[in-house]
Amino acid sequence: MRFYSPSQAAEQTGFSLDTLRYYERIGLLHSIDRTAGGRRRYSDNDLGWLRLLRCLRDTGMPIAEMIRFARLTRDSEATVPERLAVLEGHDARIEERIARLREQQTQIRGKIDIYRSRQQTPPSPVA
C-alpha cells in the first residue's frame, strides 16, 4: 500500500494543502492516516476519493451536497441506493447545464455575427 505526503496529494488531486485540510475539517475526508509524528499520509484510496470529489466539485456540486454524499459513503452499504440517487441527480443536472450552455453559446455567437458584419462595413461611404 503506497502512501502520499500532503504535498504529493495536493499535486495529484489539484487541491491546495489548505483545501485538503479544510475538506478534512468539514467532513469530506474521513480518517486520513497519520505518521508517528502526526503528519498526514494519504492512501491510494484517499486519492481516488479526492479525485471523485474534484470531479463533483468541478461540475458544480455544492460542498454541502458533497458532505451529504461523503456521510452516506461512510455509512452502511444500505445507503447505496441513496448515493446512486445523488449521483444520478447530479448527472442529470450536468446534462441540463450542457444543454443550456449550448443555447447560450448560440445566442453569443449570434451577437458575434452581428459584430462581425458591423466590422466588415465600417466606413459606410454615404457621400
Partner DNA sequence: CCTTGACCTGGAGCCCACTCCGGGTGTGAG
Partner DNA sequence: CTCACACCCGGAGTGGGCTCCAGGTCAAGG
Binding site for a second copy (CB under 8 A): 52, 55-56, 58-59, 77, 80-81, 83-84, 87-88, 90-91, 94-95, 97-98, 100-102, 104-105, 107-109, 111-112, 115-116, 118-119, 122
Q: Report which residue type is found at 38.
A: G
Count of CB atoms within 10 A of residue 18's CB? Answer: 9
Question: How many residues line the site for DNA (CB under 7 A)?
Answer: 22
Q: What is residue 40's DSSP assignment? A: E
Q: Cβ contacts of residue 72 below 8 Å, gap of 6+?
A: 79, 82, 83, 86
> Is residue 10 within 8 Å of residue 20, measured between CB atoms?
yes
Q: Does 73 bind DNA (CB under 7 A)?
A: no
58 binds, among a second copy, DNA, none (CB under 5 to 8 A by kind): a second copy
Binding mask 14-43 for DNA (x = CB under 7 A): --xxxx-xx--x--------xxxxxxx---
Measured from the CB atom, the residue of 5 and 73 that comes closer to DNA is 5
Nearest alpha carbon to residue 55 among 13, 111, 12: 13
Instruction: Give the one residue of 52, 63, 79, 87 binding DNA; rule: CB under 7 A.
Output: 63
- Count of residues in the chain: 127
